Chain A
């Protein structure tokens, strides 16, 4: 595939994302006529519709774009770093670390709102990722497989702990079961302003890793021969993944499938060159997330289905189809 085509594709993906963003502002549980939507966007008159569109849907859309981009990019980085096509951001222990911290905050400190747990989620994600990284990169057999194994082991421990706390504390279970399903509703702009900087740094660092990751993908021997500092690339990638997933999970709860599926779609479009895979993943993932969120708003009125559930339903068949239809693009 030619570079020109890939650039055109990138522009197309951006167009699709803009389209989904507009859809996410126009469509919701409350039906607001399109003309009204446009009016209140340019002139927020304090009416009920204006509050819904400007006060709820716009922040929700921005959050969806950032969280989606973070998860897509983190998934692509993760798969490239571990050379494991089934790696998803959760593999670093990020989701389970965040969940364990949130359930502790609810149960032991009695916190009640997502705004209060946001730092716990973030710190929990970061601590889990650091532990996994240290375990996975120490010793003689350091490498992608060891990292993945360390992540799985730590996740298992954290998930067990999370279940134990939930079983011991009914009240925590009640709060926690709503957090554990990722979603964009009711997470206001305050959360975004808190984790936004982390997301931004993670996105920039992650995208800059494209070239070094291409070298790493040639294998450790060749990579070293070409002068790549493998350890540093792995460390930077792990830091970027932690920032991205930690912030995304802290802001909107854990999502499965987005980080796993989207990089496969990106690679099936543009091949294995990370300089294209990373931006494509970062653009396609928010399309999936926003699409799922919009769908979730309209399927079960007057309530909503959390985006995390919809992505799982949408992501699974797409992923199965990808795996069956073609050979998964080699990492």
Chain B
């Protein structure tokens, strides 16, 4: 009776604990696994090797694309494709805010990592290709269901960075040349941003996500961390832990872990203001040197704390330039 209630509560508590750690880190070094196809001129179906090594036969120029992961949606849009279906983002009932204007007619086909198979099957026009780039291990049963609807390409594996994911998406869409252009543009933008930083070119920046239970920092291999390091900006030594995700929540007693010349602060509710309000409730927050210097920059946590993509990377570069740039 009450013991079953207790068990339920305990179960809920444990599930909560697992959920807390579910966004933990998988700190492996990245290995590129998608072999770009050179068949750019073919008009017939192409057989490609996806990120898991599986052979998938896809149409030469897929028109109707479903992107199940935010990173694939970002990459597909950057490659000039407008997906017809996508998953809801982490923070609400639409695709990620920073992408929604670019895909006004997209149909929502399930939650992140929980594609709604029926919704995908009901899409009109029918999908030519489904892009499956999750931040969890691919689920064979899910893949089988999806493949029954349309060729499904696993575009990246868990440890892949955004550039590898982009190449995986390009491979599926037969746009590898376009992907190279996108990457070149990104490199150019990095150089421009570097120049604009002026005196702040070697500043130390802290990347913080404020969650309901407290803050976490973005770990070494996290998407936004890689953009920051390509800019030549430094990160505090304590934030150099291995991992592609945000860290475990930092205890409110150890907020000094978050200190640097500049703090970029975001939440998933794309509401930096709320994050700042929560941070400012802690007296220890005001002691940080970045806070004293008014060097706290609130940013949209959705692109910043995502797995990234060319558009998200552009947002990060723009935000940094706006905050640190002298120009």
Contact = CB atoms under 8 A, between A and B. Distances in A.
Contacts of A303: 214, 216, 247-251
Interface string B137-171: 00000000000000000000000000000000000
Interface in A29-68: 29-30, 48, 51-52, 55-57
Nearest to B92: A171
Contact of A29 (B20, B92, B251): B251
A260 B6 contact: yes
A177 interface: yes
Given A28-B253, A29-B253, A302-B248, A260 B10 contact: no
Given A30-B253, A303-B249, A51 B268 contact: no
A90 B90 contact: no
A312 B211 contact: no
Nearest to B269: A171
A104 interface: no
Contact of B214 (A148, A175, A185, A257): A185
Contact of A256 (B6, B250, B254, B257): B6
Given A48-B284, A112-B212, A88 B2 contact: yes
B287 A186 contact: no
A254 B9 contact: yes
Interface in B81-112: 88, 90-92, 111
Contacts of A312: 10, 13
Contacts of B249: 303-304
A108 interface: no
A56 B13 CA distance: 24
Contact of B6 (A88, A112, A186, A309): A88
Contact of B212 (A48, A155, A178, A304): A178
B43 interface: no
A8 interface: no
Contacts of A91: 1-2, 5
A51 B2 contact: no
Contact of B251 (A30, A112, A152): A30
Chain A contact residues (Cβ within 8 angstroms of B): what range? 35 or more
B17 interface: yes
Contacts of B111: 170
A84 interface: yes
A87 interface: yes
A309 B17 contact: yes
Of listed A182, A303, A308, residue having the most chain B CB within 10 A: A303
Nearest to A312: B10
Contact of A171 (B6, B12, B91): B91
Interface in A258-311: 260, 297, 300-306, 308-309
Interface in B250-305: 250-254, 256-257, 268-269, 274, 278, 281-284, 287
Contact of A181 (B17, B268, B269): B17
B213 interface: yes
Nearest to A110: B269
Nearest to A48: B287
Contacts of B216: 303
A256 B9 contact: yes
Contacts of B257: 302
A56 B252 contact: yes
Contacts of B8: 159
B2 A84 contact: yes
Nearest to B251: A29
A159 B2 CA distance: 13
A90 B251 contact: no
Interface in B1-28: 1-3, 5-6, 8-10, 12-17, 19-20
Of listed B5, B91, B282, B283, residue having the most chain A CB within 10 A: B5
A220 interface: no
A321 to B, nearest CB: 16
A55 B2 contact: no
A257 B8 CA distance: 12
B2 A87 contact: yes
A29 B1 contact: no
Contacts of A174: 211-212, 268
Contacts of A88: 2, 5-6
Interface in B207-230: 211-214, 216
B253 A56 contact: yes
A87 B253 CA distance: 36
A331 B10 CA distance: 26
B212 A180 contact: no
Interface in A159-213: 159, 170-171, 174-175, 177-182, 185-186, 188
B2 A180 contact: no
A91 to B, nearest CB: 5
A178 B215 CA distance: 13
A58 B9 CA distance: 28
A240 interface: no
Contacts of A52: 253, 284
Interface string A76-108: 000000001011101100011000000000000
Interface of B: 1-3, 5-6, 8-10, 12-17, 19-20, 88, 90-92, 111, 211-214, 216, 238, 247-254, 256-257, 268-269, 274, 278, 281-284, 287
Given A177-B20, A308-B13, 8 more contacts: A30-B253, A84-B1, A91-B1, A151-B2, A174-B212, A185-B214, A302-B257, A303-B248
Interface of A: 28-30, 48, 51-52, 55-57, 84, 86-88, 90-91, 95-96, 112-113, 148, 151-152, 155, 159, 170-171, 174-175, 177-182, 185-186, 188, 254, 256-257, 260, 297, 300-306, 308-309, 312
Which 3 interchain pairs have the tightest Cβ spacing?
Answer: A29-B251, A303-B248, A30-B253
9 contacts: A52-B284, A87-B2, A88-B2, A148-B2, A180-B13, A256-B6, A303-B249, A305-B17, A308-B13
